[in-house]
Amino acid sequence: MEDARGRRLFADLNHAFRKDPLIDEYDFLPVTEPQNNASPLLLVEHKLGLELWSVRLLFRYAYNRLMNWRDRNQASVFIDPQELIHLSRAVLMVNPDCYTAWNIRKELIENGDLPLADDLKLGQLILSKFPKSAETFIHRRWLFQRLVNQCLSSSNDSTASADGHQENGGALLCMDGIDIALGPEANALANGIRPEAAAAAVALGEGGRACAALPLESSRLLAENLHHELTVCDRAADSYASNYYAWTHRAWVVRYCFNCSLQVLLGELERTQTWTMKHVSDHSGFHYRQFLLSNLTKHAARLHRQYAKSLSGLVDAEHDFICDLVQSFPSHEALWYHRKFVFHLMMKSAKTYSSEAAATDRVINGELQALHDAVSKNDGQKRSRLESHSPHVLRQREMDAVQKTASQAKEPFQKTLARKYVEWLEKMFPSLKET
């Protein structure tokens, strides 16, 4: 009897997906006993609800059947790929941390039985219920890795041919176009994203375009899904506090799929600002911004050349942002930690800044300044700016600001945090007093 119901529930689930392929969210409804003889699956406006009593039956049926097939316990178990897809879907929707089911799906993808896009969709659906499922993120990384590799092999193969260049652009264009204004160099950047790939393509020479269809398809998929992936991470982070899995995954996407393109880094910096403002006690978001900032630090020169943005300007802006948050939302430790990071970064860049030849600085500064105001008295400003960025001044200013916060704060915890910050400042940057 139990068995029979599981089978039916599985059929019901498949029917629901057939009826509405756009299901984008699901959850378990707290109904522990069947009230009447009605299907426990509710489908309203692309949202699916499963009554709780049915979940166990469904899972047991799908899991046992899948595992029997996997173990070859009964030699007669023959399940065609389509049913395997459905079975693993049912299993994963209840327990997304089932490695075996994910692995079965990986094999199905490799065999060409399961379109990769479908799996991305399933992962997204599962994240709506289990936003912190590590296995789901791991599987998504596998999918993207596969996509990116297919794209790269296509661009390797086809650069040599006549219209190969266009394809190459197509394959890689997906990596830019994030929500910030595109500079004129955007295309140059996009093509420069994977210099090693281009080099390899040149070295390979005639690659032939025999299997161009598959890579083309995958590059289209990649283009469609990469930016969407950031939204998926957004949603996962929204629905579960301190969701480091989501943020780590996001960082991976930026690093691996976008190859840390400056454009994406800048866009992400802007995009996550509102999120962090809304989640002031959640360090995970700030940690992601720290990842973005430290990656931007590595490409300060290119940042300046291509986007006319100075790193110090970005770090300053971040510092202003975090100081503002510290003031507005007292007693949140996460904010203070982020402030520590930002200030540390400021000091680091200030040191390199002051050690650089002042002449080049002046030139760069002059150009920058000329963009903003063409007033001739910028010489004085320049000097003051240079001075204001010396480590000594910075430290003093930070010290004063924090001490002011400490004295003004009404909340005892905010005072403690400010005091700790001062202690940290003194410990980290003691030698600067002499300079």
Partner 1 sequence: MNHHGQNGHLNHHVKSRSEGSHFTYDDDSYINKKLPKELVLRIFSFLDVVTLCRCAQVCKTWNLLALDGSNWQRVDLFEFQKDVEGPVVENLSKRCGGFLKSLSLKGCQVITDHALGIFAEQCKNIETLILNNCKKITDATCKSLGQYSHRLRKLDVSSCPNLTDTSLQYISTGCKNLEYIDISWCVLMTDEAVETLSKSCHRISVFICRGLEHITDHGIEQLAINCPNLKKLNVQQCQYVGDEAVAAVSNHCRGLTSLCLSNCTRITDTSLQALGTGCHELRTLEVSGCNHLTDNGFQCLTRNCHELQKMDLEECIQITDTTLAHLASHCHRISALTLSHCELITDEGIRHIGASPSSSESLTVLELDNCPLVTDVGLEHLVNCTSLQRIELYDCQLITRAGIRRLRNRLPNLRVHAYFAPVTPPPSVGGSRQRYCKCCVIL
Residue closer to partner 1 (CB basis): 78 or 359: 78
Compute the distance between CA of residue 281 and CA of residue 212 in angstroms, rounded to an integer: 49
Compute the distance between CA of residue 324 and CA of residue 82 in angstroms, rounded to an integer: 55
Compute the distance between CA of residue 31 and CA of residue 50 in angstroms, rounded to an integer: 9
Task: Report if residue 344 touches partner 1, rule: CB under 8 A.
Answer: no
Task: Report if residue 70 touches partner 1, rule: CB under 8 A.
Answer: no
Can you tell me which of 19, 78, 360, 427 binds partner 1, judged by CB under 8 A?
A: 78
**3-class secondary structure, 72:** coil
Compute the distance between CA of residue 401 and CA of residue 346 in angstroms, rounded to an integer: 15
Q: Are 139 and 105 in contact (CB under 8 A)?
A: yes
Task: Report if residue 32 touches partner 1, rule: CB under 8 A.
Answer: no
Task: Report if residue 4 touches partner 1, rule: CB under 8 A.
Answer: yes
Residue closer to partner 1 (CB basis): 40 or 164: 40
Task: Report if residue 60 touches partner 1, rule: CB under 8 A.
Answer: yes
Stretch that binds partner 1, among 37-45, 289-297, 324-332, 345-353 (CB under 8 A): 37-45
Closest CA to 133 of 97, 170, 91: 97
Task: Report if residue 374 touches partner 1, rule: CB under 8 A.
Answer: no
CA distances (Å), origin 428, targets 291, 311, 425: 21, 22, 5
Residue closer to partner 1 (CB basis): 8 or 129: 8
Residue closer to partner 1 (CB basis): 36 or 435: 36
**3-class secondary structure, 393:** helix
Task: Report if residue 210 touches partner 1, rule: CB under 8 A.
Answer: no
Interacting residues with partner 1 between 79 and 108 (CB under 8 A): 80
Closest CA to 262 of 199, 183, 315, 195: 183
Task: Report if residue 36 touches partner 1, rule: CB under 8 A.
Answer: yes
**3-class secondary structure, 43:** strand
Can you tell me which of 6, 40, 96, 207 binds partner 1, judged by CB under 8 A?
A: 40
Write the DSSP symbol of residue 49: E
Element (H, E) at 25: strand 25-29
Task: Report if residue 75 touches partner 1, rule: CB under 8 A.
Answer: yes
Stretch that binds partner 1, among 34-42, 253-261, 302-310, 313-321 (CB under 8 A): 34-42
Task: Report if residue 301 touches partner 1, rule: CB under 8 A.
Answer: no
- Please give the residue ranges that form the binding site for partner 1 (CB under 8 A): 1-2, 4-5, 8, 33-34, 36-40, 54, 60, 75-76, 78, 80
